[in-house]
Structure 1
Amino acid sequence: MNLSYALRPKTLSEFIGQEHLVGKDQLLFRLFQSQNLISLIFWGPPGSGKTTLANLIAKQFKADFYSLSAVASGKKDLQLIIAKARQNQIQGRQTLLFIDEIHRWNKAQQDTLLPYVESGLVILIGATTENPSFEIIGPLLSRSKLLIFNKLTDQNLKTIIKRAITNKSLGIAKYGKSLDKSAMDLLIRLSGGDARIALNALEIAIYSYRDKIITAEIIKNIFQTKSAGLYDKDADQHYHTISAFIKSMRGSDVDASLYYLARMLESGEDPKFIARRMIIFASEDIGLADRGALIQANAAFEAVTKIGLPEAKLILAHIVIYLALAKKSRSVANALSKAIKAVYDYPNEPVPLHLRNPSTLLNKNLGYGQNYAWSEQFVGPTKALSFLPDKLKKQRFYSSIKEG
């Protein structure tokens, strides 16, 4: 039995979570009442109810419903549905197309879909776990209403789990199973807001263990990990976590820095990726406030490369604590930013003649290298000349004052 599938709600009133969308007088609640079907993009984490809600919408509006997985479908599958949609249009019936993981379709595939959504031939519901701004083409996004799904709360998951374990129609209640409090808390925590993970684990506990009381030890045994593993190196959680990691070090919060480091490592992040980010951090956020930071960060990268996991975790923790506690200065990054701005504000400013290389007689006759000395006694312009082009000679890019 696929418990997560079997327990999908049949009506909107049975749906758990996303109260900001389906609660009374909220957008989807009003949509259901008005019978006004529009194209929608559902953006949110796995197991938050995107597919379930799409099915409820199809049932409510009595549309001809088609479901595609973007991973396993393409242009040919879409064309078959479009042909049926044209027949539906003649009969006065709406066609609803649900595309799961729509971000998996490339630009050309999404472009193929666009005119049919634009004309209203099909009503689209696209579900994605990735940021639509980056993964869905602008024209398709602008013709749909974006709805953001939140991770299910602990209370949401608790309600779903209790409903499942006491379900009579599926025959689950006859097993007389129950979870003790520690097992419930652990199951919720390890599920990470994903109802599918919670129900899959619960299904194993019900059908594969004879114990009437499901304990925390059983839950640990099922997950075979202390982490929920909700971390994809190619998805939003990767970028959210590394951002939090950098910001924590920047804010000199050692505990938060170590937490996000551990979170990345325990989720399978490449330790060399983390070490490279810390090298950048040493110059960007510490700079000359601690001249040893870059040396330490680079040494950590070399050590991580030589040692490898699991011992490399200690090296990373060592340098994370060092960088988090170090004095901070943005002077290097700010100076570079100002210099780059000057390049664009004053493009192609001529290099001063006294700084040019007098490599030929012609260059010398043109004044290249004149009024510049390089001797044991003196190096630099022999007159009050600037190293910068004339229009920039009063510019100051670097400041030793701590900034930011």
Structure 2
Amino acid sequence: RGPCLTDWPMTAGDLPEPDPQGADQQDQPRTWDCAFTDMVDWREDDVTGRVTGVNDYSVERSLGSGAFGTVVEVERCVGDPPFRRFALKILSRKRLRKQRQTYFDEDQGVMVVQTGEELVQQEIQVMRHLFHRNVVILFEVLDDMSCDFIGLVTELLSGGVSMVFDEATCTFSATKGGPSPGLDLPTAARYFRDLVDGLLYLHDQGIAHRDIKPENLLIYENGTLRISDYGCADTFDPADPTTALRKDTKGTEVFHPPEACAGLPCDMRQGDAWAAGLCLCCFMFGRLPFRPDLPPEALYTSIQRDEPLLPADLVEVHGEILFQLISAMLCKDPSERPGLAEVAGHEWLKQVPPPPTIVGQGHQEDGSRSDVPHGDGGGEEDAGSLPAAVPTPSSSTG
């Protein structure tokens, strides 16, 4: 089910880039559906028990791990080498079923409890048709009910996360322990343009992300930003704005807009736009304009009442145009806040150059490898290993 695997595009990065002068240029309509595979053969090392491959994929190395699984780099060994590389997220069904998320369904007037497995299936349904240069593409779902694992095959984003948050200093930098917060101006501007373009595409598809933050924005090897992590995403009817209103809060508290902090109905598209404005501050200055270390109640009060904390020399260093853009995007009144379509046409973004081109997957223009692990310390594990906290594929549900 889904596309023929040999017909997969090389990458969404091969799609035409937006006109750097801001002229309208839309992608050609593209029908996309990921592949679904329900017969899965997980392979293990006879001695160590470590996973070495699954179906056509050979595990190369671990990229990171979490409470419910791990992410590994794989090669799809079909045809002649060099083989194409992907990221494979391996989730434990047993662990997901133990996770519970409770929320109040306003339409039904009841409390709803969802398991982690149900949330993953929702995320798959959100991602399966997405195809755009600024969103992570889901290529294949490996879902064999006789096995404990669910596998999601996505693009390999060798650039890692867009920025790393340092809890000690409450700053964002390009790398963990980086020398200074923030990014250089060309990179920050490109990332922001890509974020806006990606969100406009999602909203056109009737999808609100609801957890936009630098850690959920991954970088392809040519410098293109991709929106990832759709665990909080919600759907609506683009033709009916009322279906985009929500009173519940999802995502990361410090990125919630003022109206959500006040418990008022929030247009999910406006919530994404507000979070994009905060990401612009992170890209440019390495800091959020509100204190992320405040307790939730104090944080919500600050977001509703306090003026954004912006650099005193913002206008002097970066100009009035950027100040106006940030101030407009962080307006407390959502009715006065510009939509993303208006932001995309802003004068400041018209000066953004296109991202660099690539020579080949995993290589820079000088031929060197550009791959870096996702997450913290993922590269320290042996290639092909799974963390001990994640059950091996032999632990099946029968």
Interval containing the TM-score (normalised by the shorter chain): under 0.3
Give me the TM-score of the superposition, normalised by structure 2. 0.21
Instruction: Pick the structure with more strand per residue.
Output: 2
Higher relative contact order (CA 8 A, sep 6+): 2
Give me the TM-score of the superposition, normalised by structure 1. 0.20
Bigger Rg, structure 1 or 2: 1
